[in-house]
Amino acid sequence: MDWLAASADAYPDAPALITEQGAVSYRELDRAADGVASIVSASGSFGSGAVAFWGERTIETVAAVWGIPRAGVTAVAVDPGTSPSVAMDATRAAGVTGLWTTPDGGFDRLMDRGSDGPMARLRPEAVYIVFTSGSEGVPRGVVLTDGNLTAAVAGSRERLGNTQDDSWLCVLPLFHVGGLSILWRQAEVGAPVLMFDRFEPDSVAAALESVTFASLVPVMLHRLLRTDRQWTGLTVALIGGAAADERLLSAARTAGIPAIPTYGMTETCSQIATPAPGAALDGSVGLALPGAEIRVVAGGQPLVGTEGQIEVRGPMVSPGYIGEPVRPPDVWLATGDIGVIDGEGRLTVMGRSDRVIVSGGENVHPWAVERLLMANSAIHRVRVFGLPDSEWGMRIVAEVESEVGVEALEDWASRKMSPSMRPREWQLVSRVEDKMGA
């Protein structure tokens, strides 16, 4: 479904995109997308192959996100920070026949090119290829279809309740499904996206006064809270891409940011489990979105109240990866994450299955240790991992940003944590960076 074209017909003068350079209406963005499609078609790529684009947060890139599929080719999102050799290997594997670059004259030139009338808008079966974050090793190209996008956007809207009256802040990259999904959700209802080309805490903090929805990763939320503001007007701030502890979410709510955790991945077109707006913080990421199914299994058997492997299924789940067999729609996707589902269907994510630390014969989840450590008010941020150890097999290492030293941390841990969960090594740092996942 080309939601941009539909909203340009229904709300031609409504703002589609707002940047620091000004606002772009749905009519203007639609025309620029036609300009992109016209250029791609003239290049000989019409109706076949794939065209890559650099996922920068610019109005020209947004036009390309919509315009490349209108030429009947798959749009392949590429991280601008990727090394040339890696980018070449990835795009070659995706069947890329061309690389989109903004023509001289930028957005105005695209609008001029699209002024001759709408393109045929022949959308390919695989509308987008988006690469995973590489949490399992080498990034994989995920195929996303129109059916995937339609189901994902509908499920999100039903859970969150966003309408044409709601603006959505976009500070996530457009080579990542988190950023792209904002464009899809807002175009589907004809609402504006407020987009920044970079994350600068003071500017973004001010912008939160003028939007009703936002998508952030935990490190962004940390930095916004340091601006020491109070916000009003926000309906929901989705916090995803990495685990967010309840203390951070609670602090955000106190400051007027209605933060809720969300769980998703590239393979599900972003979110697949999210609490309803205003839900109490209970450590979970809520229920599966409408239309989606989530289960936790061990040995192929579903579990309730016991940790196991998280699997997902539904029309928003990708049919597979480039160069690999197509996944039938009724087959569960193993996410590689570990979690617990309670009797009401709420999911709590424990972390990656490949991050389990086997220490002294005990299986220890870094996420669980991090959560315990964040109960210490002297610890601002933490990252837990394992290192080889001749005595323990793997020793638990805690990298922390803390107001106190190692001796005080060890004393606190000895009183508050079981021996199997207690870090054997502490590394004090000035800042622990969160990583944005799929």
Q: How far apart are CA 185 and CA 258, in angstroms?
A: 19
pLDDT in tens, 368-391: 888 889 889 899 888 898 888 877
41 within some domain: no
Q: Is residue 385 in some structural domain?
A: yes
Residue whose C-alpha is closest to residue 98's, from 148, 153, 52: 52
The reply to whether 121 falls in a domain is no
Dihedral sign, Cα of residue 148, residue 150, residue 155, residue 161: positive
Q: Is residue 118 part of a domain?
A: no
- pLDDT tens for the chain, residues 1 to 438: 899 999 999 999 999 999 988 999 999 999 999 999 999 988 876 666 899 999 999 999 999 999 999 999 999 999 988 878 778 888 888 889 889 988 889 999 898 988 766 666 667 888 999 998 654 445 789 999 999 999 999 999 999 999 999 999 999 999 999 999 999 999 999 999 999 999 999 999 999 999 999 999 888 998 999 999 999 999 999 999 877 788 889 999 999 999 999 999 999 999 999 999 999 999 999 999 999 999 999 988 999 999 899 999 999 999 999 988 999 989 999 998 899 999 999 999 988 877 788 887 777 888 888 888 988 989 988 889 888 887 788 899 999 999 999 999 999 999 998 888 899 999 998 754 444 333
Range of the domain at 398: 356-428
Residue 392 lies in a domain: yes
In a domain, 22, yes or no: no
Q: How many domains does the chain have?
A: 1
Q: What string of H, E and C letters represents the secondary structure of 386-427?
A: EEEECCCEEEEEEEEEECCCHHHHHHHHHHHCCHHHCCCEEE
Assigned domain for 207 exists? no
Give the domain CATH number at 405. 3.30.300.30
Residue 417 in domain = yes
Alpha carbons 207 and 343: distance in angstroms, whole number: 39
